[in-house]
Amino acid sequence: MRTIDIKKIAAVSALGLVTLFGTSQLANAQNRDNRRDDRQDERQDRKIDKQREKIQKQRAKIEQERIRAEEIRRAEWNRRNVNSGNDRSNGNGYYNGNANANTNRNHRYRVNRNGSYYNTDQRGVDLLRQAVNAGYQQGFQAARNDRNRNRRGSYSNSNVYQSGTYGYQSYVSQSQYQYYFRQGFQRGYQDGSNTRYQNDYDGQYQYGYSNNGSMSILGTILSQILNIQQY
């Protein structure tokens, strides 16, 4: 009959416990490293988002300054070349079509919204174009943020979309600006969500295009949304 070596059994058991304990420690350490990496990635994403937001605000500011400079130029041109008259504005930045309005007839427009037309001038048209383009840019970035973080989002959940006032100027009515901003935002979100395009893609999308990282809505899409008519 074979004698059981108690010391050997104890040694083997101790070795197994040490191995098990060591494996558990290694797994815990790896989990801590993974959580630390995730936190670092999140901080980096937030940093990148802030940088992008800063750049977008700077671009919006530059665009607003360009529009103001253009307004001053046109105002001076009108002062020199157009006889003064009665400007019957409807109170929200859209002109009622008075033939005696103090604006050159070649710079009078109307835009379509849900089958209804609204009269405006060159400045109003510029601001509404800006609304659509700003909406597209913001929608595209919101979609990319959701996509990069593996979040199932929707443009309607975005606070920027719900507000619709990013870049707003009171020369046009807020409701009009919000409408066209959201039109651009929806299309930008669709392009930004499209998995066909990588983050560094530079070219044309379904509704817009990228040029050295600067996003803009396509002119054909902009025309379809605003349906601007000169009269």
* 141, part of any domain: yes
Collapsed DSSP state (helix, strand, coil) of residue 109: strand
* 125, part of any domain: yes
* 207, part of any domain: yes
* pLDDT tens per residue, range 35-75: 777 788 778 877 887 777 777 666 666 666 666 565 565 55
pTM score, two decimals? 0.56
* 11, part of any domain: no
| Spatial CB neighbours of 153, under 8 Å, sequence gap ≥ 6 | 142, 143, 146
Residue 187: what pLDDT? 96
* 127, part of any domain: yes
Mean residue pLDDT across the chain: 75
Residue 179: what pLDDT? 95
Average pLDDT of the residues in 104-133: 84
| Residue 97 tokens, joined | 């079509």
- pLDDT: which is higher, 95 or 73: 73
Residue 200: what pLDDT? 81
Distance CA 169, CA 129 (A): 12
Average pLDDT of the residues in 167-177: 91
* 7, part of any domain: no
* 6, part of any domain: no
Give the domain range for residue 77: 52-230
Alpha-helical regions (H) of the chain = 6-81, 122-148, 159-163, 174-193, 219-226
* pLDDT tens per residue, range 178-199: 999 999 999 999 999 998 888 8
Residue 205: what pLDDT? 95
